[in-house]
Amino acid sequence: MSGQDAWDLTTQFMESFGFSGCVHGRRVLSKTPTAEDIRFSNQMLGWRDAYMAHKDYERDPLFIYAPNMPVTFFTGAAFVEDYPYLQKEDLAVIRRAEAFGIVSGIALKLADGSNGIFRGWNLLGQFEKSELIALHAEIGSLLLTCAALADQRIMLGESRKTEVLSSREIDCLSLLANGLRNEQIGDRLNIKPVTVEMHLRNARTKLDARTREQALAIAISTGKVVL
C-alpha cells in the first residue's frame, strides 16, 4: 500500500465516525512551519485555502503547543476555554476554522518532538464539546492506533518523495502538466516517445506514484514541478 492509499483509506475511516475531515501535520521544532508541513483531507479544501492564504501554519496552536501536550487532546473553538494561555493570534486561527464549521477536534500526537520533530493528526468536526468527549471515551484508542499505523505508511511514502528527479524527468512532467502526449513531449525535447515514457516511469518510481497523473500531482505539491 502506498502512502497515498494509506492517507485515503485512513481519512475515509476517520470520517465514517462523523468527523468533517482530517489534517496531518509535521513540524521540525527548530524551524517555522511551512505550507509543506500540513495536508488536508478532501473535505477540508475550502478551509485549507483560507488557512494557506493567511499563512496560518506559521501560528497554528497545534504546531506551537502540541509538543508539550498529552498524546491525545481536544482542539477547536469548543475547547478554547480549556487553554487560557492561547494568544490573540492563536485564537484568530481557531476562529477562521470555526467560520468553515470546524468547531471541535481530537489531536493525536505520534511524535513527541524528542528527536526534534513533532508529527500528528487532527480529526475535525462539528461536534458539541460533550459529544466529542464521549466519542473519544468510546473509540479514542481505536482512532490513535489507526492514526499511528497510517502515519508510518505515509512517512514511508514521503521519504520516497524526497528523492531527486532528473532534469529530464522534470521536463517531461512539466510538459505533461500542459496536456501534451508522449509524442508531443518527445518533439519538444527532441527525444523519442519511448524515452519520454522511460522518464515518466522513473518519476513514478521515485515519487511512489501508481500513475503518471499521481506522479505529477506529487511533483507539483512538493515543489518539484512549478506550473
pLDDT digits (tens, 9 = 90+) for 119-160: 889 999 999 999 999 999 999 999 999 888 888 777 765 555
Residue 129 confidence (pLDDT): 97
| Cα separation values, 151 from 23, 110, 146, 206, Å | 12, 8, 8, 20
One-letter amino acid identity for 150? A
Query: What average pLDDT does range 104-123 have in this prediction?
Result: 85
Ranges 30-44, 74-88, 168-182: which has the least confidence:
30-44
In whole angstroms, give the CA distance from residue 63 to residue 93: 12
CB contact at 8 A, 48 and 40: yes
b/e for 142-160, b at 16 or more Cβ within 10 A?
ebbebbeebbebbbebeee
pTM check: above 0.75: no
State pLDDT tens for residues 52-74: 999 999 999 988 898 889 999 99
In whole angstroms, give the CA distance from residue 174 to residue 165: 12
Residue 35 pLDDT grade (very low, low, confident, very high; cuts 50, 70, 90): confident
One-letter amino acid identity for 88? K
In whole angstroms, give the CA distance from residue 150 to residue 22: 12
b/e for 3-24, b at 16 or more Cβ within 10 A?
bbebbeebbebbbeeebbbbbb
| Cα separation values, 23 from 63, 197, 227, Å | 12, 34, 25
Query: What average pLDDT does range 102-109 have in this prediction?
Result: 96
